[in-house]
Amino acid sequence: MDYSILVNKDNPLPRASIPTDLVDAGSLYKDNIKIDRTVKEEFDKLKTLASQYGYHIDIESGYRDYDYQEKIYNHLLEEKGFSYAITRIAEPGKSEHQTGLAIDFCVYDNGKCYIEHEIEDLPVTKWIHQNAHRYGFILRYPEGKEDITKYSYEPWHLRYVGDIASYIYNHNLTLEEYKNSLLK
Ligand SMILES: [Zn+2]
């Protein structure tokens, strides 16, 4: 498995691309979420460390197949129009969630679970952004890099990239910039 695989609007996956080693994410938020086996192992470590700081996180979304992405993209397209949909949800084949390496995390607080923009200003979210790289994750769609990633800021979306995560974090790069730097 190439943990540094770049999937974006210019680098789509075919419909038939299915990860080979998916496992149940063990999420208490939602049943039947699947993710790559290594991603689960590393996320569990991050989750355990976070809990030692009093932060409780879980997985809200993991692997999504091509057909599912097609369904949610078309739904948003119909509801909100093209220019809204295109910056918020990947077209089928262009979502990292199809790799099994992407996670949307959620935050438990006082028995309630917070997702997506609800977690934006929480201390736990900042902590995750600063520490996730220790277990191979990067914040994939950071604030201020929208022109490069072609996505709005997504404070909840983590991407497992393995060993290169700390380098990417310390140099304040996106995966696009990291990949480009290798070509030079
Ligand atoms: Zn996501």
User: Catalytic residue among 70, 79, 154, 176, which?
Assistant: 154
Q: How far is the CA of 43 from the centre of ligand 1 (A)?
A: 15
pLDDT-based confidence at residue 76 (cuts at 50, 70, 90): very high
Q: Are 139 and 106 in contact (CB under 8 A)?
A: no
Please determine, for residue 87, whether its predicted confidence score (pLDDT) is greater than 90.
Answer: no
> Which whole number is the average pLDDT over 71-94?
92
Domain ranges for the chain: 22-183
Question: Could you confirm whether 154 is annotated as catalytic?
Answer: yes
pLDDT score of 110: 85
Q: How far is the CA of 97 from the centre of ligand 1 (A)?
A: 6
pLDDT score of 165: 98
**What tens digit of pLDDT does each residue of 162-182 get?**
999 999 999 999 999 999 999
Q: How far is the CA of 103 from the centre of ligand 1 (A)?
A: 6
Q: How far is the CA of 182 from the centre of ligand 1 (A)?
A: 25
Q: What share of the chain is helix, strand, coil (3-state, %, to 5)?
A: 45, 15, 40
Share of the chain above pLDDT 90, in %: 91
pLDDT score of 1: 82
**What tens digit of pLDDT does each residue of 106-122 get?**
999 888 889 999 999 99
Enumerate residues 6+ apart whose C-beta is below 8 A from 159: 96, 101, 102, 103, 137, 138, 140, 175
For 22-183, CATH number? 3.30.1380.10
* Helix (H) / strand (E) containing 112: strand 112-114
Q: How far is the CA of 106 from the centre of ligand 1 (A)?
A: 11
- pTM higher than 0.95: no
Enumerate residues 6+ apart whose C-beta is below 8 A from 15: 66, 67, 92, 93
Q: What is the mean pLDDT of the chain?
A: 95
**What tens digit of pLDDT does each residue of 43-66 get?**
999 999 999 999 999 999 999 999
Q: How far is the CA of 95 from the centre of ligand 1 (A)?
A: 8
**What tens digit of pLDDT does each residue of 139-149 get?**
999 999 999 99
- The strand pairing partners of 106, in sequence order, are 58
